[in-house]
Amino acid sequence: MDPSTFAAVLVGGIVGTLVASVLALLPALHVYNVAGIFLLIIMKVSETVVLPEAAFVSFMMGLVVGYSMINTIPSIFLGTPDEAALFITLPGQKYLMQGRGYEATLLTGAGGLGGIVFLAVAAPLLPILLPPFKQIIGPHLFWFLALMLAFMVMSEWPKGGDRGTPSQRFLDAWGSLFAGIATLVLSGLLGFILLYKPIVPPKYAFQNIMPAFVGLYAVPWLVTNIMSATNVPKQIIPKTLDTTHALMVRGIAAGAGGGLIAAIFPIITGGMGGLIAGHATAQRDERLFLISQGTSKVVYYVGAFLLLFVPGLGLTRGGMAWMVQSFYTPATFADYWMVIGSILISGGLSFLMLILFSKAMVKVVERVNHRYLSIVTSAIVVAVVYAITSWPGLLIMVVATGIGMIPVFFHSRRMNCMGVLIIPVMLNMAGVGTTVAAFLGLIP
């Protein structure tokens, strides 16, 4: 690597990580939502200034790495996780209410750092193992997604009290299950509309799904925070983490498995991958859970983007890869190793930023009512959606918010919102997607 390329990777990675670190602190603001804006800016700038490809790639990778590490902070301190971090929230908030939010953040971050190390160690093997693996799983994706869908629905346990008449208790228990299924079906219908007859203007089509994700995940959390805001107790900043080496290894191994599933299989998110891995390894310890979810999240986000660079694989997974491949497609091992270097730089830097920002957040949450923070973030999110996708995007966001609020208020899994992609994609793979779309009148 020549010095100028090295400098481009270094600068791009650092800048990307720092930008993502700051953005990730804003509750409910997803990196994929703002990456579109960065791409538009880069397009404009590159018309007048020649931007090195290495800087562009490492900047985008820095965004992904930084976001996947730092978004743990709002997930735990502000209760606003994305779809890949949903599972951290319950144990994380438990830690928070015990004054151990900082520790929970660092445990998750340590898992994330483990995920970075895992990817670096696995990097030489990926170009060897993944191409044949892709060939093998290619014909089976349909039923894999169908199984995943069935698992999501069937693994949801009835929730409810044990008081009242039998019918009241039955409805109470099954209400959340019905809500889950309703969320899945409604989000699936939304997905069909967005994929077959998008109403977002063509010039912003690369962000077609973004308003739906903002509505399904970000806005409901913000609304919940605004409605039930609470001040957190005084937080403790310990000098050690309540874990062991063995626990770290187990957590990282479980998380890496879940993250890899999510990264390789289409539509499956980090949360879903983590759910599978958690079930598969029967993890119960909360510390283990936080570590594994941190790993799963990083491996999912970073690994999915990394797949774009694996020579000979030709696999595009994750929102960032789909956006970037319109502008740049890597082809050589040099590109691959360059991006691995970029991941390591960004991973190390973002963990340091995690420590720094966690300490800062401890002070913020003790002093600032995060209801106000959520209101400000809501305004930012709405502005971003409007800026990128205009009024049609806002309409999609509002409808998606309605769907995303159902699991919040009816206490079902928010993961069911992923029906927005799983259902249309799965039916497409089954060869009946166009039939359903035609039935809905979305295609002639």
Partner 1 sequence: MPEVVQDARCPSCNRFTGTAHRCPHCGARTEKRLSVRFARWMAVILAVGGLVVLWFTARLAEVPLVQVAELNETMNFALIHVKGEVTADPKVMFVRDAQGQDTDTARIVSFPIRDKTGEITVLAFSSVAQALWKDRGQLLPRLHDKIDVVGSVRIRTQDGITSTTLFLQTPRTIQLDRNAPPQVALADAALLLDDTVIRVTGTVVDRFTPQKGPVRLTLFDGTTELTVVAWPSIFDQIPDSTKLVGSKVGLRGVVQHYKDKYAQVQLTQPWDIEILSADPETVAAYKPNRSHQDAATTTAPLVCEEGTVKAIVGIKDKGWKILFHNSQKSEVIIWKTSWKSQTTPDQLVEVGKDVRACGKKGEYKGKGQVHLLSADGLTVLKQPTTTATGTTPPPERLKEQNPPPTATDEAPEAGTKEPASTPTHEEQPDQGDADQEEQNPPPSQPKSGHNIVGNISTLDRSWLGQEATITGVLKARPSLRGKDDRLTRFVLSDDQSEIPVVIETFEVKLDPRLWDLRKNTEIQVTGKVVEYRQKLEVHPANRTDLTVLGKGTVEDLGKVQTGAITQRDTGKLVAIKGTIKSVTKIGKGGLKLELDDGSGPILVILWKNTWKQLMKAPEAGDTLSVTGLIHDYKNDLEVIPYWPEHVRFATEGK
Residues that bind partner 1 (CB under 8 A): 39-40, 43, 47, 53, 97, 160-163, 172, 186, 189-190, 193, 196-199, 201-206, 208, 223-224, 227-233, 322-323, 325-329, 331, 371, 392, 395-396, 398-399, 401-403, 405-406, 408-411, 431, 434, 437-438, 440-444
Provide, rounded to whole angstroms, the least separation between the CB of residue 352 and partner 1: 30
The secondary structure of 399-439 as a DSSP string is HHHHHHHHHHHHT--GGGGGHHHHHHHHHHHTT-HHHHHHH
Residue 114, token pair as written in the block: 């483990």
Q: Which is nearer to partner 1, 14 or 400 (CB)?
A: 400
For residue 76, what is the DSSP state? I
Burial of 125 from C-beta contacts in 10 A (0-12 / 13-18 / 19+): exposed
Provide, rounded to whole angstroms, the least separation between the CB of residue 141 and partner 1: 13
CA 264, distance to chain mean position in Å, is 14
Q: Which is nearer to partner 1, 97 or 352 (CB)?
A: 97
Provide, rounded to whole angstroms, the least separation between the CB of residue 358 and partner 1: 19
H or E element in which residue 111 lies: helix 101-122
Cβ pair 144, 136 in contact under 8 A:
no
Question: What number of residues does the chain have?
Answer: 444
Nearest to 59 by CA among 16, 105, 95, 113: 16
Q: Which is nearer to partner 1, 17 or 89 (CB)?
A: 89
Cβ pair 346, 17 in contact under 8 A:
yes
For residue 139, what is the DSSP state? G
Q: Which is nearer to partner 1, 41 or 360 (CB)?
A: 41
Provide, rounded to whole angstroms, the least separation between the CB of residue 180 and partner 1: 13
Q: Which is nearer to partner 1, 57 or 260 (CB)?
A: 57
Provide, rounded to whole angstroms, the least separation between the CB of residue 42 and partner 1: 10
Inter-CA distances, 153 with 158, 176, 400, Å: 11, 11, 20
Q: Which is nearer to partner 1, 246 or 431 (CB)?
A: 431
Provide, rounded to whole angstroms, the least separation between the CB of residue 277 and partner 1: 27
Q: Which is nearer to partner 1, 127 or 402 (CB)?
A: 402
**Three-class SS of residue 119?**
helix
Provide, rounded to whole angstroms, the least separation between the CB of residue 201 and partner 1: 8
CA dist 45 and 5 (Å) reads 19
**Three-class SS of residue 315?**
coil
Q: What amino acid occupies position 59?
A: F
Q: Which is nearer to partner 1, 230 or 244 (CB)?
A: 230
CA dist 81 and 77 (Å) reads 10
Provide, rounded to whole angstroms, the least separation between the CB of residue 144 and partner 1: 18
CA dist 50 and 81 (Å) reads 37
Residue 188, token pair as written in the block: 């699936």
Q: Which is nearer to partner 1, 151 or 410 (CB)?
A: 410
CA dist 50 and 429 (Å) reads 41
Q: Which is nearer to partner 1, 176 or 346 (CB)?
A: 176
Dihedral sign of CA atoms 236, 240, 243, 249 in order: positive
Q: Which is nearer to partner 1, 149 or 193 (CB)?
A: 193
Provide, rounded to whole angstroms, the least separation between the CB of residue 15 and partner 1: 21
Provide, rounded to whole angstroms, the least separation between the CB of residue 213 and partner 1: 14
Provide, rounded to whole angstroms, the least separation between the CB of residue 138 and partner 1: 12
CA dist 276 and 296 (Å) reads 11
For helices 141-154 and 166-196, the axis angle rounded to 10 degrees is: 150
Cβ pair 271, 87 in contact under 8 A:
yes
